[in-house]
Amino acid sequence: MGIQDDLFGAPSEDASATASAVRAVQPTADTAVAPCANTVASTPAPRRRKAAGVCPQPQDEAVHALARSLPPTLRLGTSSWTYPGWQGLVWEGEHSDTQLSKNGLAVYAQHPLLRTVSIDRSFYRPLTASQFERYAAQVPDDFRFVVKAPSVVTDALVRSEDGRGREPNPAFLSPELALSECVEPALQGLAHKLGALVFQLSPLPLAQLNHMPLLLERLRAMLRALPALAPAAPDGVIAVEVRDPEWLTPEFAAVLRECGATYCLGLHAKMPPLQQQLPVLRALWPGPLVCRWNLNPVHGPYGYEDAERLYQPYDRLHHPDLPTRAELAAVIAGITRRGQNAFVTISNHAEGCAPLTVRALAEEVAAQGL
């Protein structure tokens, strides 16, 4: 069986040349720590620790066994960790989102299936190295962070508080700001716990989409100006996520490959389904997987607020997306069985409750027989 067949299904005619080439290549802790109650698992488990009053929810042996069955290069997680509705899933007891924002990460990272998390707040305001360092101090050594680059670099428009674009953003794809406001502080603060730096390019105005060659040149200039993440972050990878399907071209993939970056598989209703995004990953193979599962397509491309109203408090699955789970699990299995890293973060807006989606996806991956 060819590598492309194994990873992503039969390649399309457009991808056949790439597939042949790929086959040829193949040969501070701010957190107070105190002991908590014993777990209910039937086999020994790491001691549970509480962080400033937040205590982890005991996980049964089935969850621990599932975690052990997954490839070590796979890191599943969620978008942020500040949701009170995860009571009984991630933590015990009732807690405010403010309390969880301050003290929930250390508890979140004790869940056996949650080995990464997306720091989304950095999209709205750049974080400092000391802020990243405080995050890093709260998680185990093999935990990895996915960090969103700030919108001052990744949004072509300056937006009002309601999200409407007001005027062109002169700092869009600025190499200097990408370095100073994202790469340097994240690398300095997270060090080897940095997994993926994601430059999520917001939807572009039509006038700019009509000049894709110019956009690709600006993207190339920014990416080429960024330093290598290794050796400080040996698993670190720079990834580009887009919200306009017009980006998904061989020329886009060529820019990413030239600059040592990868494509962030964006599962969002603004984008084509997973299978239609795979040609970009094929063109970048071999390489790691970065995926953000953002929004269930039942809500449409502008349905974030609808999903939020329906899904809160994010304590159960509302719209299980079985086809996406199965397709994503197959991609994860194909990539990790060849020793490549996979960073997959899931939003509550994917199915209604991110921790439950993580478990369901983990079960799908385990069923691949890795």
**What averages of pLDDT result for each successive group of 10 residues across the chain (370 residues)?**
44 36 32 33 53 91 98 97 98 96 97 98 96 98 98 91 78 98 98 98 92 97 97 98 97 98 97 97 98 96 94 98 97 97 98 98 91
> What is the SS3 assignment for 146?
strand
Cα 152 from chain centroid (whole Å): 20
Q: Which residues contact 109 (CB under 8 A, 6 or more apart)?
A: 115, 117, 138, 139, 140, 143
33 belongs to a structural domain: no
Give percent helix, percent strand, percent coil of the chain, each to the nearest 5: 45, 15, 40
Concatenated DSSP letters for 252-309? Answer: HHHHHHHTT-EEEEEE-TTS--HHHHHHHHHHH-SS-EEEEE---GGG-TT-HHHHHH
Q: How many domains does the chain have?
A: 1
Please state, in angstroms and rounded to a whole number, the distance separating the CA atoms of residues 3 and 21.
11
269 belongs to a structural domain: yes
Confidence at residue 50, expressed as pLDDT on a 0 to 100 scale: 73
87 belongs to a structural domain: yes
Confidence at residue 51, expressed as pLDDT on a 0 to 100 scale: 76
Confidence at residue 52, expressed as pLDDT on a 0 to 100 scale: 72
Give me 248's structure tokens. 């998904």
Task: Identify whether the C-beta of residue 281 lies closer than 8 Å to the C-beta of residue 271.
Answer: no
Neighbour-count burial of 76, counting CB atoms closer than 10 A to its CB (0-12 exposed, 13-18 middle, 19+ buried) = buried
What b-and-e string marks burial along 281-317, b requiring 16 or more CB atoms within 10 Å of the CB? Answer: bbbbbebbbbbbbbbbbebeeebbeebeeebeebbeb
313 belongs to a structural domain: yes
Q: Provide the domain limits for residue 163.
A: 49-366
Confidence at residue 88, expressed as pLDDT on a 0 to 100 scale: 97
Q: Which residues contact 14 (CB under 8 A, 6 or more apart)?
A: 279
Confidence at residue 162, expressed as pLDDT on a 0 to 100 scale: 66
27 belongs to a structural domain: no
Torsion angle defined by CA atoms of residues 146, 228, 127 and 83, in that order, rounded to the nearest 10 degrees: 0
Give me 140's structure tokens. 């185990």
Confidence at residue 2, expressed as pLDDT on a 0 to 100 scale: 36
234 belongs to a structural domain: yes
> What is the SS3 assignment for 342?
strand
Task: Identify whether the C-beta of residue 337 lies closer than 8 Å to the C-beta of residue 69.
Answer: no
CATH for 158: 3.20.20.410
Please state, in angstroms and rounded to a whole number, the distance separating the CA atoms of residues 217 and 66.
44
Please state, in angstroms and rounded to a whole number, the distance separating the CA atoms of residues 155 and 343.
23
Q: Which residues contact 162 (CB under 8 A, 6 or more apart)?
A: none
112 belongs to a structural domain: yes
* Peptide bond preceding 35 in cis form (omega within 30 of 0): no
39 belongs to a structural domain: no
